[in-house]
Copies of this chain bind each other. A is one copy, B any other.
Amino acid sequence: MYIPTLDDMIAARERIAPHIHRTPVLTSRMLNELTGAELFFKCENLQKAGAFKARGASNAVFGLSDAQAAKGVATHSSGNHGSCLSYAAGRRGIPCTVVMPRTAPQAKKDAVRGYGARVVECEPSTSSREAVFAEVVAETGAEFVHPYNDPRVIAGQATCSAEMIEQVDNLDAVIAPIGGGGMVSGTCLTLSNLAPSVKIYAAEPLNADDAARSFRAGHIIADDAPETVADGLKVPLKELTWHFVQNHVADILTATEEEIVDAMKLTWKRLKIVMEPSSAVPLATIIKNPNVFAGKRVGVIITGGNVDLDKLPWNS
């Protein structure tokens, strides 16, 4: 297992700079008053393709040799990684295949195709996904880019907190949502090297709290198909992300479904940004844990903005 290093992050930053946005940091006096903390929201919902995953996907795609790139890239994902890999492959002009369950929402398939990738459907089971994906790779010779358990992807996600510490001085803590742990691992990579005094927190839906339970147990616990409105956070940790979580995360905090939806609506209202339910989990946990965050300068990573505007969770 290769653990990505600070040099990998620095190389990633240069490599992906032409393909990603330096996203803005927003603040809200009202949210500061509510939480007693000074919050700095790093808006990766405003990132290319609407999610931080454009960073890791771009780093993987633009790091390929020309020979490998000609064969393309492939992944399995029904979420942002699929559309972000499609985006990055489109920027390089190489083929991309995304294996998705045939039951995935049409909007998600359209997003992947919209950036130019081919969608190959599988049945909604792990065995079908793995079989179909193996066929795709055998047929095309495409390079597999895992959504998070990949050093190139983690080094790419790590560029986000490198920007943030240039944009905001003297942070006491940074908090990001945790699903598979790609963003949290990248954050650990950068901050443990460049700003080791900053405490790193992860935020997780109580309904999908496998990372929090893993953290307390000291080994990876994977749940089977948890149900949460924060649909980007259902996947389990893997060995590479577990390495970073285990070594550098101060704590993993959880929030209920209602707390997540409330924090989501509050952020839309106060920061005037469109963001996914997953992105609201950190604020939900900050509101819930004033003892941890009050009086602190806290960076909050808003991970993505891809949400169905016709099905907002407070209208359902």
Contact = CB atoms under 8 A, between A and B. Distances in A.
Contacts of A268: 274, 309
Interface string A286-316: 0000000000000000000100011010110
A275 interface: yes
A31 interface: no
Number of copies: 2
A305 B271 CA distance: 9
B46 A269 contact: no
Main secondary structure of the interface of A (DSSP, over half): helix
Contact of A272 (B45, B114, B269, B315): B45
Contacts of A310: 314-315
A205 interface: no
Nearest to A306: B272
Given A24-B24, A46-B26, A274-B274, A269 B314 contact: no
Given A272-B274, A315-B315, A309 B265 contact: yes
Contacts of A48: 29
A273 interface: yes
Interface string A93-121: 00000000000000000000010000000
A50 interface: yes
Nearest to A302: B272
Nearest to A114: B30
Nearest to A270: B50
Interface string A1-40: 0000000000000000000000010100110000000000
Most chain B CB neighbours (cut-off 10 Å) among A46, A50, A272, A305: A272
Nearest to A276: B272
B309 A46 contact: no
A265 B309 CA distance: 8
28 contacts: A24-B24, A24-B46, A26-B46, A29-B48, A30-B114, A45-B272, A46-B271, A46-B272, A46-B273, A50-B272, A265-B309, A268-B274, A268-B309, A269-B274, A269-B309, A272-B273, A272-B274, A272-B275, A272-B305, A273-B273, A273-B274, A274-B274, A309-B312, A309-B314, A310-B314, A310-B315, A312-B312, A315-B315
Interface of A: 24, 26, 29-30, 45-46, 48, 50, 114, 265, 268-269, 271-275, 305, 309-310, 312, 314-315
Given A272-B274, A274-B274, A310-B314, 14 more contacts: A24-B46, A29-B48, A45-B272, A46-B272, A265-B309, A268-B274, A268-B309, A269-B274, A272-B305, A273-B274, A309-B312, A309-B314, A312-B312, A315-B315
